[in-house]
Amino acid sequence: MHPTTIGLDLAKHVFQVHGVDAAGKLTIRKKLRRSELVEFFKKLPACLVGMEACGTAHYWGRELASLGHDVRLMPPAYVKPYVKRGKNDEVDAEAICEAVTRPTMRFVPIKSAEQQSILMLHRTRDLFVRQRTMLVNSLRGQLAEFGLIAPQGIWRIPELQALAQDTDNSVLPDPARACAELIMMQIEDLQAKIKTIERTLMARHRANEMSLRLATIPGIGVITATAMVATVVDASAFKSGRHFAAWIGLVPQQNGTGGKVHLGRISKKGEPYLRRLLVLGATAVVRYARNKPDFAGWVNALLARRPARVVTVAVANKLARIVWAIMQRGGSFRERSFGIA
């Protein structure tokens, strides 16, 4: 008898399949090599396939969906409670098969290849920025040992380079100067690569209507807008803007019982990259609001009674809610939606 529900435990080379029929009776339990997976599902009638939203899950989701199967991805943390005991591929596949049938289970929309390519641009840029920061810190620290110091900021690096080139050999020996030049070459190469990626992101941004509408929100630019469009496949998957902000990790943790609920610090669950971008954008909004009392007066009212970082997170939360409203309901940013008189 053919299975109606399948739990597929993904791996690099060996995949585990666990299938049950409409009555929940086990019909398939087997291991498959990567090269055998597509052929196996081609021979099956259309069925419900559950997978954890982990590495390669979106690729396999697209592949199996193209064969007519109903593919659903689930966060691994939501599958874990269905593991009976122990930890192996067979147990995991069985847990996935059971979890995918739960009516209250939350699913992850499958991303397209285009969306994943945009996210790869973001991850590559983020990697290069981190590497550039490491090189700049190394250069500053090592030249400081010779008394060569320039003001902070990535745009001040040419001043540090000029100091290293113009300093006498008695202060900066030739071996140290050669090392500084090698680091500077690496920094310049990364700068060029980052600019190339940013030009590509700008082109994608200009070609995407949703991204252009998101960029009308204060504190959200090209990087954040393109990241939102590539990450959030379907805004209707979230019931409200608060659910969207909670998914990003910008709402307080709740801890309570007996009707008494205590709010703690923000959960930091969900999507860390989007949360970081929103907090950076909110920082710029708070800084601007301080100099413009007529802009978002509620921000200055919060600053009068709360620390600046608490206000920044509150603004980031509001930005996330506005993003969800625009993605779900259409339109673009309106000043009154940000509390502007």
SS3 per residue for 257-271: ECCEEEEEEECCCCC
Tokens of 323: 């993003």
- Cβ(235)–Cβ(213) below 8 Å: no
In whole angstroms, what is the distance from residue 39 CA to residue 62 CA?
15
Tokens 């708070």 correspond to what residue?
A: 286
**What average pLDDT is seen over the chain?**
91
In whole angstroms, what is the distance from residue 125 CA to residue 119 CA?
10
Q: Binning pLDDT at 50, 70 and 90, where does residue 271 land? A: confident
Tokens of 14: 């060996």
Q: What is the pLDDT of residue 335?
A: 67
Q: DSSP class of residue 336? A: G
* CA-closest candidate to residue 267, choices 321, 220, 317, 328: 317
* CA-closest candidate to residue 314, choices 252, 269, 258, 257: 252
Q: Binning pLDDT at 50, 70 and 90, where does residue 341 land? A: very low
- Cβ(105)–Cβ(78) below 8 Å: yes
Rounded to an integer, the average pLDDT of 220-247 is 93
Q: What tens digit of pLDDT does each residue of 38-50 get?
A: 999 999 999 999 9
Give the pTM.
Answer: 0.88
In whole angstroms, what is the distance from residue 206 CA to residue 258 CA?
52
**Least confident among 64-68, 126-130, 224-228, 287-291:** 287-291
**Least confident among 10-24, 243-257, 259-273, 310-324:** 259-273
**pLDDT at residue 276 above 70?**
yes
**pLDDT at residue 325 above 50?**
yes
Q: What tens digit of pLDDT does each residue of 85-95 get?
A: 888 999 999 99
User: What SS3 class is residue 27?
Assistant: strand
Rounded to an integer, the average pLDDT of 106-113 is 93
**pLDDT at residue 244 above 90?**
yes
In whole angstroms, what is the distance from residue 154 CA to residue 166 CA?
20
Q: Binning pLDDT at 50, 70 and 90, where does residue 339 land? A: low
Q: DSSP class of residue 33? A: E
- Cβ(20)–Cβ(64) below 8 Å: no
Q: What tens digit of pLDDT does each residue of 125-170 get?
A: 999 999 999 999 999 999 999 988 888 888 888 888 888 888 888 8
Which residues does 213 contact at the CB level (< 8 Å), separation at least 6? 326, 331, 332, 333
Q: What is the pLDDT of residue 107?
A: 93
Rounded to an integer, the average pLDDT of 174-191 is 93
